Chain A
Amino acid sequence: MAITMPLSSIIHKQPQKQRDKWPSNDFQEELVIRPLHSGDIYASFQFRTLWETDFMRGNKVSHYRLFPKSLGQVISKFSVRELHISFTQGYWRTMQWGQPFLPSPPGAELWVWFQDSVTDVDGTWKELTNVLSGIFCASLNFIDSTNTVQPSASFKPLGIGNVTDHSFLRYATLPREIVCTENLTPWKKLLPCGSKAGLAVLLKSEKLFHSSFHSQAVHIRPVCQDWQCKTTSWELRQTLNVVFDLHTPGQGKREWSLFKMFSRTLTEACPLASSSKIYIDITDNPQGEQFEVSPATPLLSQAMVLGDRRTFSVYDLTQQITFGTVRSLNLLIRWKSSEDMLRPLLHGERYVAGYGLQTGEIHTLMYNNHPYRSFPVLLLDSVPWYLRLYIHTLTVASKGKDNKPSYIHYQPSKDRVRPHLLEMLVQLPPNSVTEVTVQFERALLKWTEYTPDPNHGFYVGSSVISSLVPSIVAMDTNSTREQPLFSSFFPCKEESSYFVRVYTEPLLVNLPTPDFSMPYNVICLTCTVVAVGYGSLYNLLTRSFQIDEPSPGLAKRIANIIRKMRGVPPL
């Protein structure tokens, strides 16, 4: 270490003028807690950072205030227009839990829209995945051309800008990815307050990963600051969804509290946040007959979420009164009874059928539970090349009848280069199950292409079902109104329907797996056979053969030995 003297001789100019206008930065944090009918608790954190900047112009020097520098550099270096990345452990059970606020498939999912100034999209994508894998400590570097697709319709930009050229879109999933603490720590580091203050103090990994479902995501997109879209800004949304299974049998009482879930209570909001709120979904509990919440709050709020009008109790952490006299907030819910929930309108399932290690069949089931409305869905399937799809066997059937898709986009795979991409638009009749089946053949891999545990099987990423689902209540399309973060992610343009994305289960498919000592065995066996054949040929060619006295037979030899012992001359 050395002490520095100021270089006063250089500093002779004063800065021209103190600028009083700073580029506006804004940070909001929010936690939604929804008691699920299964007795589980769904907690959804959202943190939103807005950074006002004109991103379409290449700005060389970059100064970051609330926006994390590492992500800002990624955006500017790789000319990213939109970036969505999620890491999920566990599968969201739509039939038991309803729709999540932000859906995500098991494992890692990454989809990126590049700006149209990018010339080499594939090269940029490769570099970007490597950098992101460093930032998030994840195996995103395993994303290559064999698991990347360019969906033509399913993934549209969620921010401003009307881009329709899907050659700037890349989508990849890693269903094998395990999510754990090492992914959470860098994710928390992107928050302006870190895990030091605000809602993020609740994010303790030992509790978060001791849950039925854990999903963390980062969404970056350009958004408008105002209604006329005069100023634009980058929006960074960090979301973390977790489902706690607190209804363990034997404990008797059904109750939970912030402390029980996160082993922490809240004492303050993040001082940098312009809004810091906790919402508790009390829609199913208008008179408190199912559960009671303490401390009670007089603040109530209504929001349109996923085609439903829901009521929330709101706790505003920026108000000191929320924390009461003990200066800490520990929300508590006690259950009294429970009843059946509304079935989600759209739901998807998938499984592999067939036997043996040569062929199989993928079944995708899409449920429309709406009693009288039919609606179209977009189904996206990305299947690795080693499952060779027989596309002529593709059938789509609802209620036992053939259901012809109105749009099919199919890109066949190339071995070791790119996966199959199947996208189709299917009309789901009301109250029906639509089944999509396609047969496939399992390919033989090269022995270096197998994973370290080949007998575990190979994962095939989730299918994505995107749809505009008819809504029961009129949706709020006025985006200027102050909305809670959880209800404002997917842009809503129609009053009568809302956008939903559903992910099916990933598939685990067994491929014919060789015995890995086989190559050496084969070498040894063939070499031995060759050597035996060669040896006899060699002997035939080089030896000279002479007629030899045939040696006496066994009986004769034994007789001779006996004769010798008796002293009689041999035969």
Chain B
Amino acid sequence: MATSEVERRRGQLAALSIAAVVIMVGVPLWWRTTETYRAWLPVSQINELANMQLQLSADVEVVFARGTVTPEQQKKVPLTQTQDEEHTVDENTALRYRYEIRYRTATIMEEDALDQPTAAEADLSLHTLSESPCGSLVVYVIPESSSLLPEDMDVYIGQRRTALLRIGAQMRVGRTVEQLLAHLEPRIKQVLQVMSFSHTDITAALSDRVRLSPGNKESIADSMRAFKSSPGYEITFSLLNPDPKSHRLHWDIEGAVQTYIQPLLTKLAPVANFSLDSQTLYYAMLGVNPRFDSSSSAYTLNSDSLAHVINPVEARLGSNAASSNPVLNFLLYVPDAHHSPLYIHDNKKQEVPSNAFHSPRWGGIMVYNVNGFYRPEAVLPVDININMAKVMGVFLAQLRLLLGVQSSTAPPGFLMAPCGSTGLADWELDRLMWSRSVENVATATTTITSLAQLLDQIGNIVINDNIAEQVSSAVTSLQLAVAELEAGNLGFALQYSKEAIMASERAFFDPSLLHLLYFPDDQKFAIYIPLFLPMCVPILLSLLKIVSEARQKRREKQAKKD
């Protein structure tokens, strides 16, 4: 009896020690060898980013010209004033606009500049006096009697970062400073909304992050027209010659690009990198057959058939082999001799004066009729030189639209200076930079948060060190970009936001994330079971037996006590 009891105890001990070895050595060993490598990610910072409080700060300098404030008022005018405006876009996103307004009176040189006969000249000489940094504005308040502006205009917006604001008639001398400032404030805000950012622009830029409530059709179309923010764009000009037998076309694209496009792109260099090329495509047809209009003896393309024009042409354009940036296509289509002249008609069946149209986020097409060059005695093919000034005027306008430069029309009472030789005013660039920075920040946060979510949900994905590095650098750049926006340093904000978007995209699209993503669990268990089942079942059974015996013994002991 005693020997069998000893024997039983030894068996129990052996079972327990085997179970202990399996649990203490086997399980950690199995765990460590089958674990997927997951580098550390700044999850808490990413979660903070998911909840975005974006503050945009704009510096405005308000300069009172002679005759707008009295010396007594001048003393009372505060030096600075800060105005905040808060908007809640949705539960995770809030916007705050801070306008830091500084007041001062005009210096003598500025007074001289304001004495110029026209507003444009005043604008130019003010610009030469001082150059305001990117993202800030100077508003000159000029007396009501000033002749710089025409009678019915109150505000002049220059080519740089200055505006002239005519003080209202009711603000003659004798009013208090408070009344004066209260009178100026809404109008300064209006100027700001035109020249730096407006709430509609910023919410449109946030569209990657926030689902916008469906507004009117027009505004959606407007917001969808421009290309999405990208670190670079490829611009391709294509000359389509469907009929090389009848005409030989010459276009001086090198010269035209240098003259018209390059100045604009040089100015836009802080926003993105641009690369330019051009090609000539022969036998490239439009996808639709134009209708012959016998009344004007011309061929017409209706606005509803324009949508079908692009696809067949696109097959010939060729994708860009050298980079993966979005491509802006500008096509100059010279109709063949049998379908010429060709005119584009708008919705109201009227001829479009430019004979061109554009497709949102794709590019523009212009039809260039050359039927005037065909003469009865002409020998085919006819040599034709294309008037590039006419063509580039249309393409430049389309380029501005597609890059999102021109998005708001001037409110009544505003006079805009015509944009200069670069095709882009300084404040238009600022405006673009504001919305691009916000858009980049929004896109990068969405990318990073969804990446974090994905990695959280699918535990099988290996996170390599380089991905963790990209994520961290994206998060750092994002924080810096948000901080710079808050401080009002627009140039740095855009720079950081671009870095953030690049790092986040690199992390998101890293091919190593796809490895083992779909390694199925059932196959894993099919391999484990032949080993684990026969090993674990005896251990489990003997453990159960030990437990039940121990319990029985205790019960017996209790029964004995009783």
Contact = CB atoms under 8 A, between A and B. Distances in A.
B280 A66 contact: yes
B160 interface: no
A135 B260 contact: no
Contacts of A272: 244, 282
B357 A4 contact: yes
A545 B4 CA distance: 8
A251 interface: no
A15 interface: yes
A194 B282 contact: yes
Nearest to A128: B321
Interface in B233-268: 236, 244-245, 250, 252-257, 259-260
A320 interface: no
B389 A15 contact: yes
B419 A544 contact: no
Given A73-B277, A189-B316, A3 B531 contact: no
Interface residues of A, number: 64
Nearest to B17: A541
Given A4-B398, A69-B277, A530-B531, A541 B14 contact: yes
Interface in B512-529: 526-527
Contacts of B316: 189, 194
A557 interface: no
Interface string B117-142: 00000000000000000000000000
Q: Which of A6, A17, A520, A546 has the most CB of B within 10 A?
A: A6
Contacts of B10: 544
A528 B530 contact: yes
Contacts of A61: 254, 257, 275-277
A193 interface: yes
Given A73-B322, A546-B4, A541 B11 contact: yes
Given A1-B307, A77-B322, A19 B252 contact: yes
A2 B381 contact: no
Interface in A197-219: 197
A271 B307 contact: no
Contacts of B421: 10, 12-13
B321 A9 contact: no
B354 A271 contact: no
Contact of A4 (B14, B283, B397): B397
Nearest to A74: B321
Interface string A57-68: 000111111101
A445 interface: no
A430 B184 CA distance: 103
Interface stretch (B36-44, B65-73, B162-170, B534-542): B534-542
A322 to B, nearest CB: 17
A524 B528 CA distance: 9
A157 B346 CA distance: 56
Contacts of B275: 60-61
A272 B282 CA distance: 9
The secondary structure that dominates the B interface is: helix
A24 to B, nearest CB: 13
Nearest to A78: B322
B13 to A, nearest CB: 9
A531 B282 contact: no
A542 interface: yes
The secondary structure that dominates the A interface is: loop
B388 interface: yes
A135 B389 CA distance: 34
A8 interface: yes
Interface in B408-461: 418-419, 421, 423
Contacts of B306: 1
A534 B534 contact: yes
Given A3-B354, A527-B530, A544-B11, A11 B538 contact: no
Given A70-B321, A520-B526, A1 B393 contact: no
B21 to A, nearest CB: 12
A194 B4 contact: no
A7 B321 contact: no
A68 B317 CA distance: 10
A3 B321 contact: no
A535 interface: yes
Interface string A517-560: 00010011001101110110011011111100000000000000
Q: Which of B10, B253, B316, B318 has the most CB of A within 10 A?
A: B318
Given A1-B303, A60-B275, A523-B527, A15 B256 contact: yes
Contacts of B381: 271
Contacts of B356: 3-4, 6
Interface in A69-84: 69-70, 73-74, 76-77
Nearest to B354: A6
Contacts of A337: none
Contacts of A539: 538
Contacts of B359: 1
Interface string A247-278: 00000000000000000000010011000000
A1 B309 CA distance: 10
A6 B353 contact: yes
Interface string A176-192: 00000000000001001
Nearest to A546: B4
B133 to A, nearest CB: 26
6 contacts: A3-B346, A7-B393, A11-B392, A61-B254, A65-B280, A531-B530
Given A4-B354, A7-B396, 14 more contacts: A2-B358, A9-B419, A10-B396, A10-B419, A16-B255, A63-B254, A77-B322, A131-B322, A134-B319, A271-B245, A524-B530, A541-B11, A544-B10, A546-B4
Interface of B: 4, 7-8, 10-12, 14-15, 18, 221, 225, 236, 244-245, 250, 252-257, 259-260, 275-280, 282-283, 303, 306-307, 316, 318-323, 344, 346, 352-354, 356-360, 364, 381, 385, 388-390, 392-394, 396-398, 400-401, 418-419, 421, 423, 526-527, 530-531, 533-535, 538-539, 542
Interface of A: 1-19, 22, 60-66, 68-70, 73-74, 76-77, 131, 134-135, 189, 192-194, 196-197, 268, 271-272, 520, 523-524, 527-528, 530-532, 534-535, 538-539, 541-546
Q: Which 5 A-B pairs have the closest CB atoms?
A: A531-B534, A7-B397, A527-B530, A544-B7, A196-B283
